[in-house]
Amino acid sequence: MLATRAPRLVSARQIGQMAKAAALTHAPVSTISTYRPILGAAQNLAHHSQIRHFSILVTDKIPEKDPPKTRVTKPIFPGPTYTEEELLAVVPGHRQPRCLSDRLAWRLVRGARRLVDRATGVTDVKPLTTTQYNARILFLESIAAVPGMVAAVHRHLYSLRKGKRDQGWMKTLLEEAHNERMHLLTWMNLAEPGWFMRLLFIGAQGVFFNICFFARWVSPNFFHRFVGYLEEEAIHTYTRLEKEIENGQVKGWSDPTFPIPEIAIEYWNIPKDKQTMLWLTRYIRADEAGHRGVNHTFANLDQKHDPNPFEQDTRNTSSPVPNAILRPQGFERFEVIEGVKPPKDESESTLK
Ligand SMILES: [Fe+2]
Ligand SMILES: [Fe+2]
């Protein structure tokens, strides 16, 4: 009786409230079964509103083969190569802010993270769904591909203005931008962005690009610290994804037979036994670890005079090139720039 009348007598909002109340108060089984038809309706409504909520952001996809006419060309920058040990050794890490500008950069990134968490309904309690991961990763990667390009443009213009050599900065920065774009293109095979996500992409380009351009102009050190912190957050997200895939908590992606995008296999040259979502996550996380270490290091350097320590000096090939992947805090200036002495309270160089 109640079941047949319920849809006409109770509004959708009331049904939702009743379902919520029953769940929150751990109502006895008999009470729940009395309201089972209503609860079913409420769950359906919640489910549909969730689908609507996420379909404006993303829709999950299973990667397909590229269309036959797709031209595959040599990449501008070849994909990075990693040993298995490196892929497994990346862990979340944090560089403690040491000055006001560091603190500001850290607070901005944490604030942005909280906003994204709220927008995608993420908590520390429940594993994320593929749709939640897709929404976060598409947004994160569309943002992450901007700063490297902005910084490279600044270095390019600076070199033109001053008639000075760039000393290797532009290559690393452009490589970072390209690498982030490959992350986005890889994930576009796993998720179709909805209209709201596409709006966010435009926002990232129209607003974030200009904010980045202004910030890099005002303070390059602050800018690179901000990017370093952004990368720390990316590593947190990919590490969580790695753990949840490993624990079998991500429906579809935890299955080792789930196909990974062709573009990723080609870019990272992923061997057959690692063509799973678990290893793909580790490849991308290793890239983010590189960006984290590089940007935290760049934030420690003298932007006008120091060379980029991550590019080999072709006139002195015996000079070591530091590996930023396993260095969450980046390198201090005295560790990577010849002739710079450590401050008295710093320990000996740990450059490896
Ligand atoms: Fe990325
Ligand atoms: Fe990154």
Ligand nearest to the CA of 325: 2
Band of residue 28 on the pLDDT scale cut at 50, 70, 90:
very low
Chain-centre distance for alpha carbon 270: 20
The rounded Å distance from CA 166 to ligand 2 centre is 22
Distance 96 CA to ligand 1 centre (A): 22
Find the ligand nearest to 138 CA: 1
56-67 pLDDT, tens per residue? 888 999 999 888
Reading the block at residue 221, the tokens are 């050190």
Contact between residue 103 and residue 97 where contact means Cβ atoms under 8 Å apart: yes
User: What pLDDT shows up at residue 53?
Assistant: 57
User: What average pLDDT does the segment 7-25 reach?
Assistant: 41
- How many Cα atoms within 13 Å fall on the side-chain side of residue 127? 16
In angstroms, what is the span from residue 284 Cα to ligand 1's centroid? 7
Find residue 193's DSSP bridge partners: 58
- The answer to whether the beta carbons of residues 284 and 183 sit under 8 Å apart is yes
Q: Which two tokens stand for residue 45?
A: 């409504």
Q: What's the CA gap between 165 and 157, in Å, rounded?
A: 11
Q: What pLDDT score does 47 carry?
A: 46
CA of 140 to the centre of ligand 1 (A): 7
Q: Hey, which residues does 192 pair with through a beta bridge?
A: 59
pLDDT per residue as tens digits for the range 73-114: 888 899 999 999 999 999 999 999 999 999 999 999 999 999
Instruction: Give the pTM.
Output: 0.82
From the list 228, 214, 222, the residue with the least C-alpha distance to 102 is 222
Ligand nearest to the backbone CA of 238: 1
pLDDT band at 125 (very low <50, low <70, confident <90, very high): confident
Ligand 2 centroid to Cα of residue 11, in Å, is 46
Count CA atoms within 13 Å of residue 228 on its CB side. 32
Neighbours of ion ligand 2 (CB under 5 A): 144, 231, 288, 291
Tell me how far CA of residue 113 lies from CA of 119, 220, 244, in angstroms.
10, 22, 19
Q: Which pLDDT belongs to residue 243?
A: 97
